[in-house]
Amino acid sequence: MTLLTKLSILFISALILTACGGSSGGNASSNSSSSSSASSSSGSGGNQAPLANAGENQTSTIGQVVTLDGSASSDPEDQALTYQWQFSSIPNGSNTTLTNANASMPTFMPDLAGIYSLSLVVNDGSVDSESDSISITITDSARFYDDFAGSGELQNYVSNNANSLPDVARADGRYRAQVTDNSNNITLHFNTFQGRLDAQLVSFPFEAIARNIGIGTLADSQSAASASGNPYIFAGLQVHVSDLSDTNSSHVVVGHRGGTHNTIEGKNTVNGSSSVNDAGANIAPNGRADIRIVGNQDRTLTVYWQQPNLTPSETDDNWTLYNGTGNLPNSNPAFGEQVYVGLITYAFELGGLPFVGTCDSLEIIY
């Protein structure tokens, strides 16, 4: 074999080895790259953004703590969420701040009337949600309203001496206080006698309105209670000092006052001594009226009445000052900053029993 032949064989062998080795290495590199690309695509596409839910808009009053609720926020993969609340706008001059802004249910105390707007963003550990917004409307006054919807026990009242008149409830959408026993004048509100009171603790100034309040029969609270025998039977509103064991109160009630039937009675009780008068006979023809008591800034009372306005959302009220002045007899008790305002039903002795005290609604703004 010549030298030229040997060199040719060696050159051809090298070419064959290079071609085989290059092909094998190229395939391995290509497979590795394809696998890596597939893994990256799965990781970026498997997580969806969570959904923020800031809850419902609310209405509250100055000085009342507002609680927000983002607990209905969710994540498609059920990942644990973190929360970020912030004010987007507050009334000009407000200095309020959020407490626990990174919790699902933070709080704040509004210091000015107006609209407080907030936004919520939640995060699932990787991705932020779109923001969700909520508005909190703050007013200067608090409002208690009860239309006695449904049937059952009274709701959200402070009751004093409840055992003196145990049968008090919501019945067919009205307040109903059934008086069948008045032994030892247990229901009476006079001098040192203090019957049952169902009330709200409020601050001066305030306004309380009881609609279609008065007396009726057991069979039908909207049928006039009998005046036979000149009974003393009433239902109405009382304003009581904040110490419920104290015998200082004012009240305005509708009913029969002995020989003065279908009247409105006013009473001030100061240190256990009561002063009483009325607005005249038959001014409340069916034993019912609307009563309005305004608690003034100086902690005095102004009293009004009118014939029942059964559609106050459609018909304007037409209030009359009690006895032309709005004043109850003699002096009011020395009321403090807070008082209880609420409903009473009572009798003197046993005449006129049984009967019911009734009321369509009670509204107190304070």
Q: Which domains does the chain have, with CATH numbers?
A: 58-139 (2.60.40.10), 143-365 (2.60.120.200)
CB atoms within 10 A of CB 23: 9
Q: What is the 3-state secondary structure (H, E, C) of 185-230?
A: HCCCEECCEECCEEEEEEECCEEEEEEEEEEECCCCCCCCCCCCCC
Measured in degrees and rounded to the nearest 5, phi and psi for residue 243 equal -90, 105
Residue 292 and residue 206 in contact, taking contact as beta carbons nearer than 8 Å = no
Query: pLDDT tens digits, residue range 315-352?
Result: 999 999 999 999 999 999 999 999 999 999 999 999 99
pLDDT 10s per residue in the chain (366 long)?
A: 444 444 444 444 444 444 444 443 443 333 333 333 333 333 346 899 999 999 999 988 887 789 999 999 999 999 999 999 999 999 999 999 999 999 999 999 999 999 999 999 999 999 999 999 999 999 887 889 999 999 999 999 999 999 999 999 999 999 999 999 999 999 999 999 999 999 999 999 999 999 999 999 999 999 999 999 999 999 999 999 999 999 999 999 999 999 999 999 999 999 999 999 999 999 999 999 999 999 998 999 999 999 999 999 999 999 999 999 999 999 999 999 999 999 999 999 999 999 999 999 999 998
Secondary structure class of 318 (helix, strand, coil):
coil
- Can you tell me which residue has the tokens 């893994």? 39
pLDDT in tens, 76-125: 999 999 999 999 999 999 999 999 999 999 999 999 999 999 999 999 99
User: What is residue 326's DSSP assignment?
Assistant: T
Q: Are 347 and 187 in contact (CB under 8 A)?
A: yes
Q: Give the ranges where the chain is alpha helix by DSSP (H).
A: 3-45
